[in-house]
A = this chain, B = another copy of it.
Amino acid sequence: MSLSSRASKLTTPDPSFSILTNPYHPTLNPSGHINLAVAENTLMHASLQSHLHSHLHVPTSAFTYGDFFKRSRSAIATFLTKHLHAVSPIKPEHVAVVSGCTAAVEHISWALADPGDLILLGRPYYGAFPWDATIRTGAKLAYVDFGDEDPLGDTCVKKYEDRILEAKANGENVTALLLCHPHNPLGRCYPLHVLIDLLKLCNKHKLHLISDEIYALSVFENTVDAEPPLCHPPAPFHSVLSIDLTGLIDPAYVHVIWGMSKDFGANGLRLGAIISQHNIDLMTALFPLVLLTSVSSLTEHVLANILEDDAWVETYIKENQRKLSTYYKHITTWAKTNDIVYAPGVNAGFFIWADLGRTFRKHRKDEPEDLDQAVMDALLRHKVFLASGARFGSEKPGWFRIVFSHEREYLDEGLRRIVAAVTTPEPLEEARIDLRRGSITAEDL
C-alpha cells in the first residue's frame, strides 16, 4: 500500500522462497526439500571451518568501521594477482570489496549504465543476473540468442555484435557486455581466442567488458567426456586479467568480479570484489558507493586469515578441484545410467546442465503444455528443487541445472528424487512455482 511504483511490482511473494526456507534434514526435517538448485559447494566445509576456528581471534578494531578494508583489499590483490595470473600486479586500490558478488553486480551496473541503457547478456545466463543488474539500477539487459551454436564458441562473437547493431538500430545505448567466466550454468571456460575476440568487439563498440570470474578457481579435470561435441578438449581457464590488453581494448573498459562464495564454498560469508586496474574514475566512484553494501569485519577477518595463508590455500584449492572432478564423474555416471542427457565438456563450476524434459516426456503419453513447468512441478512433488532453464534464460525447454557439490548422501537422495520425478507419469498438476519470475526483464520493471 502506497509503496513506490517500483516496489509495488514486488508485492507478490516469490514461491521459491518458501521452498528455500524449508530445507531437508534426514532426521530434523525429512519432509523438507533437497536443494540442488542453489550453487553451493559444501565439499570443503569441514576444512574451511577448521581454518576459521583455529585463526579466529577478533580484534576490538573489528567493532569499528576500521580502515576501509585496507587488509582485505591487500589480501585480495595479492591473492588474485597470483591465482588469476594477472599481467600487471593488482594493487589494493584496484579492488572494491562489498558484501557479496550480488552487490558487486549491482554496483557495477549502476556505475556503467544509466536507466534504460543496455547490458548484453548471452543465454543461458546465471539466473540472478537480471535481478542484480537491473532491479534497483534501472539498467536493462539485452539478451543474446545463440540458437544451435555454442554460446562460448567462435561464432558467439558475431551473435553479440548482431545484438549490438540491433540495439543501435533501435536507438538504444549499449554500455557493457556481462560474461560469467567460467560460465554458469554451462560449466565451461571461454577459450582464450574467443575472449580476445570479445575484448576487440567491446573496444570496437566502446563497451565495458565485465567478466564475472566467481568460479575462477573451481576448475577441474574432466575425466569423463571423451568426445565433447562443443569444445574438444575443454578450454582451460584464462582470466581476462591474464591477457595483455595492448592493441585489443582500452584497458579502462575491463573489469572483473570475484568473491569467496564459490571458490571457497562460502556463500554465507558475503564477500565480493570488483577489480578494475585501469579506470581510476570508476574506482573513485566506487569508494564511497561500496559503503552502501559494506562487508562485515568478521568476514574481512576470516577472508584475510585465509588468503594470507598461502600454503593452506594452495592445498585447499587443489583438494577442492580434485573433489569436484570426482563428483563430476559421479553425477555424469548417474545421468548416463538413468538416461538423462547432459551438456558435456564441463571443467568448471559444480553443476551439470541436463535435459530432464526429454526423459520426462519419454515416460508419459500426454504432452505438457509447458514442459519446464511440468518438470518443475514433478520435481517439487518429489521434494527436490533445481534451477530451471526457464529462469536461466534457456533457449531450449526442459533443461535444468543440477548442483553436485554436496555430501554424497544428500546428493544421492536428491538424484534419486530427480529420477523418480521425471520417470513417474503422474497427472499434470497446476503450476506451483512461477519459473520465470527470476527472469526480470526491463519491461517488467
Contact = CB atoms under 8 A, between A and B. Distances in A.
B64 A46 contact: no
Contact of A99 (B59, B267, B293): B293
B60 A289 contact: no
Name which of A1, A49, A268, A280 has the most chain B CB atoms within 10 A of its CB.
A268
A292 interface: yes
Interface stretch (A3-11, A190-198, A331-339, A415-423): A3-11
A56 interface: yes
A285 B14 CA distance: 10
B6 A114 contact: yes
Given A58-B49, A114-B4, A40 B67 contact: no
A55 to B, nearest CB: 12
Interface string A56-85: 111111111111101000000000000000
Contacts of A275: none
A429 interface: no
A131 B289 CA distance: 9
Interface in A294-322: 294-299, 302
Contacts of A2: 112, 175, 206, 208, 252-253
Contact of A64 (B267, B287, B296): B267
Contacts of A223: none
A53 interface: yes
A249 to B, nearest CB: 12
A431 interface: no
A441 interface: no
A288 interface: yes
A136 B114 contact: no
Given A114-B5, A292-B293, A285 B135 contact: no
Contact of A268 (B53, B292, B296): B296
A46 B60 CA distance: 7
A137 B135 CA distance: 11
A252 B1 contact: yes
A3 B111 contact: yes
This chain's copy number in the assembly: 2
Contacts of A287: 13-14, 17
A103 B293 CA distance: 6
Contact of A111 (B4, B62, B280, B296): B4
Interface string A273-288: 0000001111011011
A265 B99 contact: no
Contacts of A146: none
Name which of A132, A271, A284 has the most chain B CB atoms within 10 A of its CB.
A284
A113 interface: yes
Nearest to A128: B291
Contacts of A49: 58-60, 63
A175 B1 CA distance: 12
Contacts of A6: 110-111, 114
Contact of A132 (B279, B292, B295): B292
A48 interface: yes
A112 B3 contact: yes
Contacts of A13: 284, 287
Given A7-B285, A268-B297, 6 more contacts: A17-B287, A23-B67, A56-B58, A106-B292, A136-B292, A295-B296
10 contacts: A1-B252, A6-B114, A8-B281, A10-B284, A11-B280, A14-B287, A38-B64, A40-B65, A66-B268, A136-B137
Q: Which 3 A-B pairs have the closest CB atoms?
A: A268-B297, A296-B296, A10-B285
